Structure formats: structure tokens, C-alpha cells
Amino acid sequence: MDVTQATGGRIYVAHTQLTPAVMLNVYLVKGDNYAVWIDSGTAQMFPQFMETMQNAGVANNALRFILHTHSHHDHIGSNGQLTDATGCLVAAHPMYAAWHADFEMQYQELARPFPDLMPDTPELRQEVLGILDHPHPIDLFIHEGVQFNLGGASLKAYELPGHMLAEFGWFEQSTKTLILGDAITGLDWPFFHGHLTVSGFRHTLTRISHLLTELDVQLLLFAHFPPMTSTEVHPLIDLARSYIDEIETTILEMLSEGPTSLEQLWRGTCTRMDRQIEFRSLHMVKAHLDDLVDRGLVRATGVEQYSLVDA
């Protein structure tokens, strides 16, 4: 699908492959008065961003904002270069403000949530930090319902947590287009894309389903999936729900075999579901354990130790 043609010249896409299995799409929304990028991808995409703006007829000084879906490294990577080149402002949720200003903090909190389980290596540093340009603090803190009037186009923020504790989807009214970052995560990648709140992810899937009708969404644009119509996204939502259930079932099956540790549950979930053992899945398994503890199905028996409540 030609996104620009489908949106009447309002939305343009820049694209790269992060890995052979993982695409990354970043969207330029053009209004009559100014334009915005939704996220800023990786540092290496900056020349493509400038070329896309030129092709769209957007002068440097007409780029007003970078509106973020969330603050992961592959979504804020060109903030420094874009703000330097255009004078635009960075707008994002305040929860992860420190990650924009301090890349070392992002690295430690994102990639090493449990330092004893995730060594600090040059390879891991390169994976996280190698796609970031230079820090730029958030200029404008935004929350649910904030709206930007670009002239002929408008964008409204909807909170869609799950993948992160704070994440936005952006609805462009004139084209009835819902632009998502990682609100629906990669479901069949070689590694777990990860989510930090299970209940939040489930709620977000339900909310997206409701928004499709409520907003009369005609087109959905994703960071890591191809464009979809409203009809096409429903099976993806169902797959995401099944994916969450499969992860939970896998963890409970391991716990039914006896008390075990976070490390064993993390490694075991990856092995049983045929995924790479890496930092995103460690966050995710811990989120599922927290959810199971909150629901009274699992208890923490010590530091990073768990068992079933009825065991």
C-alpha cells in the first residue's frame, strides 16, 4: 500500500530493516501550517528523514515537533540530529524523560533490569546505544487527549500502555488514520519484543478494538507491521491475545513442576517458546510474574524466587 497516496499526501513513511525479521516504519504527517514526525527511528535514518521531508515539500523550519509514541532507543534515535537541523521540539510522555537526556540510564534500565542476570558487554551496549545519536531532553510533556492542529490535519494522543508503561497512539482526523508505535508488539520474531505490564497490554488490545469503531479508523500504521485496514487488524489483535495467554501458560506450567527462580523461568520461557534469551524477555517474564502474584496465582518466596500459591 502506498501510504502517501492512501492519505492524500498527508502522511509519508521512512523505512528501514532493524534486522532481517524486524522492519521499522517512521511517519511524517504534513499539515497546511506545519509538519511533525511520529518518532525519530534510529540515528542512521536521519538522511532518509531529511530526504522524505524534501520530497514532501516540508522545509526544515516547517517541522515543528517530534511526537513520540514511546521512548525506546529505536524510536528516539534521530532526535538530536532532527532538532539540530530544524529547531523542532520533542514531545513525549514524562514517565521516561530521563531516557531522552541520559542514554546510559536508558541502557541500564532497558537492557540490564537485573544486572546479575544480564552482563554489561560491548555487544549489548552497541545494540542499545549504537542506534542513538545524542541526547536531547523532552521539550514538551504530553498526556492522553492532547491534540495538535497542523492545519488541515490534526493529531490526538491516546494512551496505550503494555509494551511500555507509557505509550501513545496518534489519530489523524482528516485521514482517519491511527498511527501506532509498539502498542501491538512483534508476535513471531526470533526474540520476544516484550511488554512491561500484562494487564496494560490486554487493556490496550481491547481499547484499540474499540477505537477502530469509535473513531471510524480507515487505516492503521505501525512501527513494525505493514499498513492495515480496520478489518485486517482484528486478526492481529486476536493473535496478540493468544500470544499473551501462551506466555502465561508456559510460565504456569514451569511453576507447576516446582518452585523456581526468575532466571529459570526467563530462560525456560524462551527455550520452550523457541525465542532468543535476551533482555526484552527478562522484562516480560518479570511482568507476567508480577501479574500472576497480583492475581493471587503465584507467590514470591524469596529474592527472585516463585512458586504456585496452591503448591
DSSP assignment string, 37-96: EE----GGGHHHHHHHHHHHT--GGGEEEEE-S---TTTSTTHHHHHHHH--EEEE-GGG
What is the tally of structural domains in the chain?
2
Residue numbers of the chain with a pLDDT score lower than 70? 311
State which of 182, 217, 241 marks the end of a domain: 241
Q: Are residues 119 and 260 in the same domain?
A: no
Q: Is residue 250 part of a domain?
A: no
State which of 186, 214, 241 marks the end of a domain: 241
Q: Are residues 178 and 278 in the same domain?
A: no
Pairing of strands 147-149, 140-141: unpaired
d(CA 281, CA 267): 9
Q: Are residues 49 and 165 in the same domain?
A: yes
Q: Are residues 191 and 234 in the same domain?
A: yes
- Residue 181: give its domain's CATH number: 3.60.15.10
Q: Are residues 10 and 115 in the same domain?
A: yes
Q: Is residue 221 part of a domain?
A: yes
Q: Are residues 185 and 281 in the same domain?
A: no
Q: Are residues 280 and 205 in the same domain?
A: no
Q: Is residue 270 part of a domain?
A: yes
Q: Are residues 290 and 145 in the same domain?
A: no
Q: Is residue 249 part of a domain?
A: no
What local confidence, expressed as pLDDT, does residue 190 receive?
97
State which of 241, 270, 287 marks the end of a domain: 241
Q: Are residues 269 and 135 in the same domain?
A: no
Domain hosting residue 27, numbered range: 3-241
Percent of the residues in the chain that have a pLDDT greater than 70, as a whole number: 100
Can you read off the three cell numbers belonging to residue 242?
Answer: 493468544
Q: Is residue 246 part of a domain?
A: no
Q: Is residue 236 part of a domain?
A: yes
Q: Using CB atoms within 10 Å of the CB of residue 259, give its burial: 0 to 12 exposed, 13 to 18 middle, 19+ buried.
A: middle
Q: Are residues 120 and 217 in the same domain?
A: yes
Residues whose CB falls within 8 Å of the CB of residue 11, separated by 6 or more in sequence, listed in order: 3, 4, 27, 28, 29, 30, 172, 175, 177, 179, 221
What local confidence, expressed as pLDDT, does residue 155 receive?
98
Please report which residue ranges of the chain form alpha helices under DSSP H.
3-6, 46-56, 79-86, 97-101, 103-111, 122-129, 198-214, 230-256, 262-272, 279-294
Q: Are residues 207 and 263 in the same domain?
A: no
d(CA 13, CA 308): 47
Q: Are residues 29 and 169 in the same domain?
A: yes
CA geometry: angle at 15 spanning 51 and 159, to 5°? 110
What local confidence, expressed as pLDDT, does residue 311 receive?
59
Q: Is residue 33 part of a domain?
A: yes
Q: Is residue 234 part of a domain?
A: yes
What local confidence, expressed as pLDDT, does residue 310 receive?
83
